[in-house]
Amino acid sequence: MGLPRFELEHAEIHGHRVAYRLAGSGPALVLVHGITARSDTWRAVGPRLAERFTVLAPDMLGHGESAKPRGDYSLGAYASGVRDLMMLLGIDRATFVGHSLGGGVAMQLAYQFPERCERLVLVASGGLGREVSPLLRAAALPGADIVLPLLASSRLLDAGEKVGGALARVGLRPGTDIEEVARGHASLHDPEARAAFLHTLRSIIDPGGQRVDARDRLYLASEVPTLIVWGEHDRVIPVDHGRGAAKLVPNSQLEIFEDAGHHPQLDEPDRFVEVLEDFIDGTEPAELEVERLRELLVSGGERLTTLPTATRKRRASAASGS
């Protein structure tokens, strides 16, 4: 018997076409891709995970086969979109697994909808430090909307494929990161995809690096089982971001894949599946109630020593309702 089918399906939410892959049965995993990617970034691991779990992998709006409307492409909007798809498909709670931009979306999901989050898995996640690839910083510059159509032209893409073929013939294959970046880059020939990419990018990155930083809220994940996976050779988002995040989340598990770059789920799929399954087997799903979240917010606010004492006391008093 073969692996579960992990094929693309479609639904309509708020009048927009949403593409997604859904397979398997059992506890739910929601796999969230990165910028310019799509659900097939999980192609090497999704079907295998579906042997034990219900696996949902959407093409987020602006990506893949989903609609690319003018609208909100913030992390919060992406998180709401994933939540709405879960509701449509009858998935109440899940382990959120996010890669790159998807890591930021997964953290936003856990923050906005804690009652739906059983575990959090961050794979080479954005939002954990300032440093990011110069290529992404350059795309945030003014005028990038003029240059991108030229870079995504079919002539240049064909030339890139020929270069890759030449390297293969002499035994030097482009790595997974180059291949995945090229796949994502090819999608930008479409004006709607390009506009969605720029709106997304500029909401999280400026020419100096990442402008969204979730580290000040990671204490809220202290009671959510958290796994952090990173490739040692990641040149898009440095592995030190993962090491730093692990220190901020008590009892989190950090796995560094020594032979991987920015896509450990593609570079080392066997190990990725094994690590993820072991993590789920070894942890209990979180059940974070609203009152407990309030307590964490109060205690976290009290640790923010940069705030004046009076301000911290007012916040704690307001949170407790006294």
234 has catalytic annotation: yes
Among candidate residues 33, 185, 241, 262, the one labeled active-site is 262
User: Which member of 234, 241, 263, 267 is catalytic?
Assistant: 234
The token pair that represents 74 in the structure block: 């913030």
Provide the total of helices (H) and of strands (E) in the chain, helices listed first: 13, 10
What homologous superfamily is domain 8-132+211-287 in, according to CATH? Alpha/Beta hydrolase fold, catalytic domain (3.40.50.1820)
> Looking at 39, 100, 203, 252, which residue is catalytic?
100
pLDDT tens, 242-300? 999 999 998 899 999 999 999 999 999 999 999 999 999 999 999 877 777 778 888 77
pLDDT for the residue 238: 95
72 noted as active-site residue = no
Q: What is the pLDDT of residue 65?
A: 96
Which pTM does this prediction carry? 0.85
Q: Where are the domains of the chain?
A: 8-132+211-287, 289-322
The 8-class DSSP code of residue 116 comes to G
CA distance 292 to 297: 9
Beta strands in 167-279 (DSSP E): 205-206, 209-210, 226-231, 253-257
Q: Assess whether 252 carries a catalytic annotation.
A: no
Q: What is the pLDDT of residue 148?
A: 58
CB 121 within 8 A of CB 229: yes
pLDDT reading at 127 higher than 60: yes
